[in-house]
Amino acid sequence: MISVDVSLKRGDFFLDVRFEVPATGCTAIFGASGSGKSTLLDLMNGSLRADRGCLSIGDRVLIDIERGIDLPPEQRATGWVPQDGLLFPHLTVSENLDFGARRSRHQRGPSRVQVIDTLGIGSLLDRWPRQLSGGERQRVALGRALLANPSILLLDEPLAALDAPKKNEILGLLDRIKHDFSIPSIYVTHSLAEVLRLADQLILLDCGSVVAGGPVHDLLGRSDTPLLSMRNDIGGLLSLRRRSTQSEDAGFEADLDGQRVYLPSSTTPTGESFRAYVPANEVIIATEMPKGLSVRNVLRGKIGRIRDRGDGIVLVEIELGAQRLLSAVTPAAVRSLDLVTGLEVFALVKSVALDAPAGFRLIEAG
């Protein structure tokens, strides 16, 4: 477990954060700027000292103020990757990579060859940091952090300084890192797209405290999650399993807990699971099996909670077995269809809604 319970007062700002997440996979800390997420990361890497509390990763205690423990950054073995990478400008890429590896206290870690290969930075080794593009710099920064053999990766908006195509490229790499090296990560971001793609656990931060936290699939698809439910791009995050090779009519099939979902395209190999984000405003509710529609995905479900946001939109949770979709409808629609909790309904999702490569309708391996 990664267990965090720290507080810190700095001027008018008060950070008081408590959460516990598994010490595997990616935990995203999501919040607006000023919510304290970078401050939290500075507490974790040791550049800020907590006033009170404890912090441990597995059985390694980094902070326990009451017992007088507050390890300095150099003893924490946190792989810190900030927005701009912070490569050492007077060292070559290769020397940057070796900087942490040479000083690592632990024996076993990812090998240099493996890291260089995963990140695709083999051709950059002799270059100087100033000769690198923003994306290349982030790759090297990630490599440097990984080679120091950290017990946790602390990623502070590592994509914020990159343009959209580069973002996608690095996101793909982060995904690979997550799978190739079993190092837990804390990922600070204000981008929902990044959360959807990478996060296993999600901690929502507002004004210095945690307003919600838990597995990402649980928090999305809920009508009352703070910070998220008022967004226009709120939706449900589904876990799908790629079912067959291409079906006859040029589409791909996937399995959603026994129900069939059609996708226009997919990069996921057969049998692998992946996640798909379905924005609430792409989901239509029907009370009977519809006929004569172009919509390919008709999912059978049951209405969960219904919540009027108060801005002319009602969020309806649709339970599909253990998973959940959200649908955004008007109050008038709720009345005319007599939508109530427990009602059996059909959720209609256009298959193209499941297939935009960028933005919020992500389909990713994972």
Partner 1 sequence: MTLSDPEWLAVLTSLSVAVRALAFTLPLAIALGWILARKKFPGRALLDALVHSPLVLPPVVVGYGLLLIFGVQGPIGRWLDSTFDLRLVFTTTGAALAAGLVALPIMVRTIRLSLEAIDPRLELAARCLGAGTFDRFVSITLPLALPGISAAAVLGFAICLGEFGAVITFAANVPGETQTLALAIYGALQTPGGEAVAMKLALISMAIALLALLAAEWLGRRAQRWGNRP
CB of 170 to partner 1, least distance (A): 17
Q: Which of residues 33-72 bind partner 1 (CB under 8 A)?
A: 45-47, 72
Stretch that binds partner 1, among 24-32, 87-95, 268-276, 290-298 (CB under 8 A): 87-95
Shorter beta-carbon distance to partner 1: residue 46 or 184? 46
Q: Choose which of 9, 32, 52, 88 interacts with partner 1 (CB under 8 A).
A: 88
Stretch that binds partner 1, among 4-12, 83-91, 244-252, 259-267 (CB under 8 A): 83-91
Helices (H), the chain: 37-45, 93-103, 112-119, 134-147, 164-180, 192-198, 216-219, 331-337
Shorter beta-carbon distance to partner 1: residue 162 or 234? 162
Q: Choose which of 61, 86, 352, 365 interacts with partner 1 (CB under 8 A).
A: 86
Q: Choose which of 100, 184, 221, 366 interacts with partner 1 (CB under 8 A).
A: 100
CB of 102 to partner 1, least distance (A): 8
Neighbours of 337 (CB within 10 A): 16
Beta bridge pairs of residue 189: 30
- Asked if 105 interacts with partner 1 (CB under 8 A), we say yes
Q: Is the dihedral of CA 71, 77, 83, 84 positive or negative?
A: positive
- 194-to-18, 70, 85, 166, 281 alpha-carbon distances in Å: 23, 31, 18, 13, 20
Q: Which residues contact 228 (CB under 8 A, 6 or more apart)?
A: 192, 204, 219, 220, 222, 234
Q: How far, rounded to the nearest angstrom, does the alpha carbon of residue 70 sit from its chain's CA centroid?
A: 28
**131 φ, ψ to 5°?**
-90, 5
- Asked if 210 interacts with partner 1 (CB under 8 A), we say no
- Asked if 181 interacts with partner 1 (CB under 8 A), we say no
**303 φ, ψ to 5°?**
-75, 130
Query: What string marks each residue from 129 to 168 as x (binds partner 1 by CB under 8 A) or -?
Result: xx-x----x------xx--x--------------------
Count of residues touching partner 1 (by CB under 8 A) = 33
- What secondary structure letter does DSSP report for 34? T
Written as six digits, the tokens of 63 are: 């902070």
- Asked if 345 interacts with partner 1 (CB under 8 A), we say no
Neighbours of 108 (CB within 10 A): 7
Binding site for partner 1 (CB under 8 A): 45-47, 72-80, 82, 84-90, 99-100, 103-105, 128-130, 132, 137, 144-145, 148
